């Protein structure tokens, strides 16, 4: 051993060999035992893989989250009444009965149908009436919504018994929607009414347009970076490429969408079709072909189950603790002795479950348990996160601070907890903690010289968040994008490069974000990229894809010329750890320049769900692909004279080793995919991590739509593409 050491000291190349003792081609099998050392104690630890482990999780500030919160046998049956928030009533003397009658009448008219201008008007009139009711008698609105839900048969044939009542309960969607009805502008043809009715497909979508006056004001007249700012960036970029060395790249972990399911029951129905829950792998999940009675507690008997849930997880279900523990071990193993320099998490800790089984406690438990466990495997590496749409209760919702009657702070329980938690884990300082409280879970920090990470709460552009429909002509009611812009101005001044974290992507197929906020985000990115913004990271879809941001030339993103020469930055959508939605669990390691923080490459790892069941070792984690190896060859577009990136390729076809995989590369790749359809099929297979349950994009329409999604980073841009090809599952 001394001799080996001596040789190593002399030959530094040998040190590389030692630190790379594990090579990425070798599969990782963390084994079958659960890493109980990541938790202070366990409520339950099975001796056989016939039930899932149940970690006991200590609450920040004292006490424990109760076992019943995540026990497969004790599913909550209704929303906690104490968590309901209604708007404050205004005085009024309207005839409540008449109002309710009129609202229900509007709903009936919508069901009967008609031409589009008629339906749009009926919808707006209905909302205006509902607003009057919300002003005078807010406590009655959740029941009226339940009635409308039944009239419109919102949940269709697969509804749970009373799903309308459970969903529009005042402690679930009923309370927030009543607030929107009270605080929004629903008089006549007001934009809020039109936007709500557009979401329900009764009216045309309002324009994404932001006027020149608005944009000038937004950027305080500074619509473009100064020449000296650009010169400084170009010098830095040139220096990094001239002195490029692969060994100095920093490894950065990116994980997304963990969705731990503490309620997962081994042996329950994984092939569920019907039941008193919309989710599989829970004690009351059922398949209607084999079990036909309503069941709200207890378990479906084994004889009536078509495909029992396995110990390690199923494609139809969120990640059980066994799979989470195993994935964490694999993540640790892959980092080797070097460890990760930084780690990113793009949201969604909590399981998918029926709305009414959510609670503040469930959200805080998921955060405490998973961030605590991640701290255990990451050690001194800091983790920077963004709030997912599942990080709140009611799910998907977050209210702007500007709501009246103190209602603007109804989600403080959430951001305050995360602020304290991230601080206690050593990931944020006092300033970062304060940011999280002030900016809805968002923050701006500089973990390394020259790098800034700005985390956004993407609920404020997510179309499901009903609070975004209040004063919707304002693209930034929450102030989240103002915060981002102010931070970017500061970063630009300091010459920092910025990574932006968010959960819901602003673009891709355009189905998830709202027009105005996603357009404003685009305008901001266009103003600050690439010299300040190096990359954007998203999650949410569980799938692996990307979108290029191009330079905007007007207040309408849909008008931006989306040519490779105008590529500004890239949004990378990292795949999920949860297998739910028929994908294979996965995580990513970027290799990043230590000065420009541009991404040079990444490795994607995955475990195949189909083979979990048959492997005696449990999940086996494989290297799936390297971005540069898979996509770095652009020969087809070069051959067709479609290559337009102004970067001289190595051997005439390969993206140069010393040039990062920046937005210009990804834009050029979309040109290559047009020239070489087989590459798009490769992308499509990787989108699900080669899941046997996923489709592969092979026909002309799908390929064309996908290239268009890759060039779309707002709702309006995504809607210029043919719809329906955004997901492979």
Ligand X SMILES: *[C@@H]1O[C@H](CO)[C@@H](O)[C@H](O)[C@H]1NC(C)=O
Binding site for ligand X (CB under 6 A): 114-115, 117-118, 185, 187-190, 209, 211, 237, 241, 270-271, 273, 287, 289, 291-293, 303-304, 306-307, 309-310, 314-316, 530, 554-556, 567-568, 613, 647, 659, 662-664
What are the beta bridge partners of residue 345?
Answer: 255, 385
531 labeled binding residue:
no
259 labeled binding residue:
yes
Q: Pick the closer one to ligand X by CB: 139 or 650.
A: 650
- Does residue 19 contact residue 338 with C-beta atoms inside 8 Å? yes
Q: Pick the closer one to ligand X by CB: 30 or 726.
A: 30
Give me the least distance between CB of 110 and ligand X, in Å please. Answer: 13
Q: Pick the closer one to ligand X by CB: 306 or 690.
A: 306
Q: How far apart are the first and last CA of the chain?
A: 52
Give the nearest residue (CB) to ligand X. Answer: 310
| CA–CA gap between residue 289 and residue 403 (Å, rounded) | 48
Q: Which of 140, 65, 71 shows the shortest CA–CA distance to 100?
A: 140
Q: Which of 485, 482, 468, 367 shows the shortest CA–CA distance to 427?
A: 367
Q: Pick the closer one to ligand X by CB: 334 or 663.
A: 663
| CA–CA gap between residue 645 and residue 288 (Å, rounded) | 55
| CA–CA gap between residue 520 and residue 523 (Å, rounded) | 5
Give me the least distance between CB of 130 and ligand X, in Å please. Answer: 15
Q: Which of 487, 516, 515, 519 shows the shortest CA–CA distance to 501?
A: 487
Give me the least distance between CB of 211 and ligand X, in Å please. Answer: 4
Q: Which of 481, 545, 562, 482 shows the shortest CA–CA distance to 518?
A: 481
Give me the least distance between CB of 155 and ligand X, in Å please. Answer: 19
Give me the least distance between CB of 298 and ligand X, in Å please. Answer: 12
| CA–CA gap between residue 230 and residue 225 (Å, rounded) | 7
Give me the least distance between CB of 471 and ligand X, in Å please. Answer: 7
Q: Pick the closer one to ligand X by CB: 19 or 187.
A: 187
Q: Pick the closer one to ligand X by CB: 519 or 727.
A: 519
N residues, the chain: 729
- Does residue 191 contact residue 184 with C-beta atoms inside 8 Å? no
- Does residue 293 contact residue 552 with C-beta atoms inside 8 Å? no
Give me the least distance between CB of 272 and ligand X, in Å please. Answer: 8
| CA–CA gap between residue 557 and residue 531 (Å, rounded) | 20
Q: Which of 150, 251, 275 shows the shortest CA–CA distance to 601?
A: 251
- Does residue 298 contact residue 85 with C-beta atoms inside 8 Å? no
Q: Pick the closer one to ligand X by CB: 270 or 283.
A: 270
Q: In the block, which residue shows the tokens 């348990």? A: 369
Q: Pick the closer one to ligand X by CB: 251 or 555.
A: 555
Chain centroid to Cα 56, Å, comes to: 27
Chain centroid to Cα 162, Å, comes to: 30
Characterize 58-90 residue by residue with b for buried, 16 or more Cβ atoms within 10 angstroms of its Cβ, and e for exposed. eebeeeebeeebbbbeebbeebbeebbbbbeee
Query: Going by C-beta distance under 8 Å and a sequence separation of 6 or more, which residues neighbour residue 337?
Result: 19
390 labeled binding residue:
no
623 labeled binding residue:
no
Give me the least distance between CB of 531 and ligand X, in Å please. Answer: 8
471 labeled binding residue:
no
Q: Cα 186–188–191 angle (5° rounding)?
A: 60
If DSSP codes are grouped into helix, strand and coil, which group holds residue 519? helix
| CA–CA gap between residue 185 and residue 470 (Å, rounded) | 7
Give me the least distance between CB of 630 and ligand X, in Å please. Answer: 19
Give me the least distance between CB of 393 and ligand X, in Å please. Answer: 28
542 labeled binding residue:
yes
231 labeled binding residue:
no
Please enumerate, by residue number, every residue annotated as part of a binding site for Zn(2+): 257, 259, 348, 389, 503, 540, 542
């Amino acid at each position: 051993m001394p001799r080996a050491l001596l040789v190593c000291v002399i030959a530094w190349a040998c040190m590389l060999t030692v630190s790379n003792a594990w090579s990425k081609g070798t599969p990782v099998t963390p084994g079958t035992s659960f890493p109980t050392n990541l938790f202070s104690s366990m409520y339950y630890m099975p001796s056989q893989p016939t039930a899932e482990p149940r970690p006991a999780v200590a609450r920040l500030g004292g006490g424990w989250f109760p076992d019943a919160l995540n026990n497969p046998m004790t599913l909550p049956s209704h929303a906690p009444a104490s968590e309901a928030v209604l708007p404050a009533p205004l005085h009024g003397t309207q005839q409540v009965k008449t109002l309710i009658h009129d609202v229900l009448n509007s709903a009936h008219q919508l069901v009967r149908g008609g031409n589009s201008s008629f339906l749009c008007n009926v919808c707006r009139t209905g909302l205006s009436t509902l607003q009057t009711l919300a002003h005078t008698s807010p406590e009655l609105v959740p029941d009226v919504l339940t009635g409308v839900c039944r009239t419109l048969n919102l949940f269709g044939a697969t509804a749970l018994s009373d799903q309308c009542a459970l969903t529009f309960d005042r402690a679930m969607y009923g309370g927030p929607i009543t607030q929107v009805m009270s605080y929004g502008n629903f008089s006549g043809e007001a934009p809020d009414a039109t936007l709500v009715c557009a979401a329900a497909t009764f009216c045309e979508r309002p324009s994404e347009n932001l006027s020149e006056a608005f944009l000038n004001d937004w950027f305080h007249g500074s619509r473009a970076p100064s020449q000296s700012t650009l010169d400084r960036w170009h010098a830095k970029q040139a220096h990094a490429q001239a002195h490029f060395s692969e060994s100095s790249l920093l490894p950065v972990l990116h994980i997304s969408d963990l969705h731990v399911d503490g309620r997962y029951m081994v042996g329950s129905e994984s092939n569920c079709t019907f039941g008193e829950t919309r989710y599989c792998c829970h004690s009351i999940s059922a398949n209607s072909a084999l079990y036909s009675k309503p069941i709200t507690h207890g378990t479906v008997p084994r004889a009536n189950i078509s495909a029992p849930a396995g110990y390690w997880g199923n494609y139809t279900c969120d990640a059980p603790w066994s799979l989470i523990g195993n994935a964490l071990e694999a993540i640790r193993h892959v980092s080797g002795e070097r460890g990760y320099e930084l780690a990113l998490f793009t949201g969604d800790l909590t399981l998918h479950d029926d709305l009414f089984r959510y609670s503040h406690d469930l959200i805080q438990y998921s955060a405490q348990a998973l961030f605590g466990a991640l701290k255990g495997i990451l050690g001194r590496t800091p983790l920077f996160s963004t709030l997912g749409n599942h990080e709140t209760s009611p799910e998907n919702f977050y209210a702007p601070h500007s709501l009246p009657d103190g209602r603007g702070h109804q989600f403080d329980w959430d951001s305050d907890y995360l602020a304290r938690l991230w601080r206690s884990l050593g990931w944020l300082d006092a300033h970062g903690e304060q940011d999280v409280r002030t900016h809805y879970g968002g923050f701006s920090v500089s973990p390394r010289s020259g790098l800034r990470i700005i985390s956004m709460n993407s609920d404020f552009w997510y179309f499901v968040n009903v609070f975004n429909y209040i004063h919707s002509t304002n693209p930034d009611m929450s102030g989240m994008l103002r915060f981002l812009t102010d931070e970017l101005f500061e970063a630009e001044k300091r010459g920092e490069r910025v990574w932006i974290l968010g959960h819901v992507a602003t673009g891709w197929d355009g189905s998830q974000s709202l027009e105005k906020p996603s357009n404003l985000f685009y305008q901001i990115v266009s103003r600050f990229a690439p010299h300040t913004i190096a990359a954007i990271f998203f999650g949410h879809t569980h799938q692996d894809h990307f979108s290029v941001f191009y330079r905007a030339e007007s207040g309408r993103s849909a008008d931006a010329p989306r040519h490779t020469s105008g590529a500004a930055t890239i949004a990378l959508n990292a795949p999920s750890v949860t297998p739910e939605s028929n994908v294979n669990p996965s995580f990513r390691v970027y290799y990043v320049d230590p000065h420009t923080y541009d991404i040079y490459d990444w490795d994607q790892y995955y475990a195949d769900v189909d083979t979990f069941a048959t492997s005696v070792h449990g999940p086996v984690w494989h290297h799936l692909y390297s971005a540069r190896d898979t996509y770095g060859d652009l020969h087809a577009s070069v051959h067709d004279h479609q290559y337009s990136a102004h970067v001289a390729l190595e051997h005439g076809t390969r993206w140069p080793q010393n040039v990062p995989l920046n937005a210009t590369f990804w834009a050029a790749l979309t040109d290559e995919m047009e020239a070489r359809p087989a590459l798009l099929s490769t992308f499509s297979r990787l989108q699900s991590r080669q899941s046997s349950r996923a489709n592969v994009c092979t026909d002309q329409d799908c390929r064309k739509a996908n290239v268009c999604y890759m060039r779309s980073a707002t709702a309006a841009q995504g809607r210029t593409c043919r719809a329906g090809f955004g997901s492979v599952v």
